[in-house]
């Protein structure tokens, strides 16, 4: 396997490979009753862009998360067990998250044209596969088939939820603990990257590699980008390569600036996705909901899917479509630093409720 990290430090590379070996062993042990066909590496380490952190004793650790996809021949008996395993692995490996996604082999035959499946096809690395099963073949997606505005808006929605979660952890009493500050710094930088990346998706010029995305944004800055966006995107790229700690006050300032960049990018993407002009965010929830109904019920297949969801006791419109307006209603506005303690407490409660609905 080629290099996994941006800096290529031998001790860091060795630690990441050791961690991935441990994850594979534990997953295989846990899957003894399921038909596990393969384990695929995704994310920054698959691109060779991952980061590592040197500890006080000179050892190295992975940074932020490991992204893996577990491919099964058939439906695993207990998906929740793998979710629990991801948390225990993260604790043991001293990293924030170990994301263990699940896919069935049939899903690899004709995947949807989404950013996830496109990146999987471009950079996914099969770390292990069952010798008694057929090879795990990673599908390739034609980038021209990806609905750029839809996927870009979804990327910003996902990163915006993390930024909202970070904000709820940064303000109030008692002051945030070091893990909360570390999480918030990562979320703030990621949201700036997402604003630029979503723009490239909508333009049809997205690349799976960070250096290429950065170069494209520098050569053609987005028309919606305000002062400081280029510098913020460059700083976020450097943070991904070599993360560094910061103070609570600097983190709060970074959160506010990143929130403003996210708002500008999100407004642009939502205007494209909804084919409208959002004069104020108060209209966003209604317009997003109306667009979801048109999209979901505008074809026989969409109507059939809505009926099936309803028969299973679900909503006609999937909850994901309704989160767009809810996020903008909570994330944008005055800085939490300017609120009264009672207003701040109410905002934090609503923010955490939404985040938990989004990522239970």
Q: What is the pLDDT along the chain (360 residues), one digit of tens a residue?
A: 679 999 999 999 999 999 999 999 999 999 988 999 999 999 999 999 999 999 999 999 999 999 999 999 999 999 999 999 999 999 999 999 999 999 999 999 999 999 999 999 999 999 999 999 899 999 999 999 999 999 999 999 999 999 999 999 999 888 999 999 999 999 999 999 999 999 999 999 999 999 999 999 999 999 999 999 999 999 999 999 999 989 999 999 999 999 999 999 999 999 998 888 887 888 887 777 666 555 554 555 554 565 565 555 555 445 577 788 889 999 998 889 899 999 999 999 999 999 998 987
Architecture of the 10-144 domain: 2-Layer Sandwich (3.30)
Task: Order across the sheet with 125-129: list the strands.
Answer: 97-104, 65-72, 36-42, 125-129
Please, is 166 exposed, middle or buried when counting C-beta atoms within 10 Å of its C-beta (0-12, 13-18, 19+)?
buried
Please, is 227 exposed, middle or buried when counting C-beta atoms within 10 Å of its C-beta (0-12, 13-18, 19+)?
exposed
Domain boundaries of the chain, sorted by first residue: 10-144, 148-358
103/202 Cα distance (integer angstroms): 27
Instruction: Check residue 274 and give its pLDDT.
Output: 87
Instruction: Check residue 303 and give its pLDDT.
Output: 46
- Global model pTM greater than 0.85: yes
Which residues, in sequence order, are bridge partners of residue 52?
Answer: 62
Q: What is the 3-state secondary structure (H, E, C) of 15-26?
A: HHHHHHHHHHHH
What tokens does 196 get?
């630029």
211/287 Cα distance (integer angstroms): 35
Report, in angstroms and rounded to the nearest whole number, the Rg of the chain calculated over CA atoms: 21
Task: Determine contact, residues 337/171, Cβ cutoff 8 Å.
Answer: yes
* CA angle in degrees (0–180, nearest 5) for 260-157-170: 55
What's the length of the chain? 360
193/155 Cα distance (integer angstroms): 10
For residues 191, 195, 201 and 205, what is the CA-based torsion angle, rounded to 10 degrees?
-110
Instruction: Classify the phi-psi angles of 150: left when phi > 0, otherwise alpha if psi is within -120 to 50, otherwise beta.
Output: alpha
User: Which ranges constitute the DSSP H helices of 58-209?
Assistant: 79-93, 115-123, 148-170, 178-203
- Could you count the other beta carbons within 10 Å of the beta carbon of residue 305? 15
């Amino acid at each position: 396997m080629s290099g996994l990290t941006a800096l290529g430090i031998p001790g860091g590379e060795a630690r990441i490979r050791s961690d991935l070996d441990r994850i594979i062993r534990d997953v295989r042990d846990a899957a003894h009753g399921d038909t596990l066909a393969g384990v695929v590496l995704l994310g920054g380490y698959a691109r060779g862009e991952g980061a590592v952190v040197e500890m006080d004793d000179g050892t190295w650790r992975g940074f932020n998360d490991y992204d893996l996809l577990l491919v099964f021949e058939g439906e695993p008996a207990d998906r929740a067990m793998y979710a629990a395993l991801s948390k225990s692995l993260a604790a043991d490996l001293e990293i924030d998250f170990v994301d263990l996604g699940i896919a069935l082999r049939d899903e690899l035959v004709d995947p949807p044209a989404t950013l996830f499946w496109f990146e999987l096809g471009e950079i996914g690395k099969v770390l292990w596969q069952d010798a008694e099963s057929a090879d795990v073949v990673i599908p390739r997606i034609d980038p021209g088939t990806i609905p750029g505005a839809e996927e870009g808006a979804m990327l910003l929605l996902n990163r915006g939820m993390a930024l909202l979660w970070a904000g709820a952890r940064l303000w109030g009493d008692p002051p945030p603990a070091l893990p909360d500050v570390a999480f918030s710094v990562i979320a703030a930088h990621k949201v700036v990257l997402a604003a630029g990346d979503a723009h490239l998706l909508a333009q049809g010029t997205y690349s799976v590699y960070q250096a290429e995305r950065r170069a494209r944004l520098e050569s053609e800055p987005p028309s919606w980008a305000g002062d400081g966006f280029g510098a913020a995107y460059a700083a976020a790229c450097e943070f991904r390569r070599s993360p560094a700690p910061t103070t609570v006050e600097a983190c709060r300032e970074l959160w506010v600036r990143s929130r403003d960049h996210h708002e500008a990018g999100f407004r642009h993407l939502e205007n494209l996705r909804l084919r409208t002009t959002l004069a104020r965010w108060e209209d966003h929830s209604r317009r997003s909901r109306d667009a979801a109904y048109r999209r979901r019920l505008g074809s026989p297949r969409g109507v059939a899917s809505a009926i099936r969801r309803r028969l299973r006791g679900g909503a006609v419109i999937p909850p994901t479509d309704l989160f767009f307006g809810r996020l903008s209603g909570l994330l944008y506005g005055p800085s939490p630093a300017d609120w009264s303690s009672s207003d701040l407490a109410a905002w934090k409660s609503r923010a955490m409720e939404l985040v938990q609905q989004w990522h239970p």
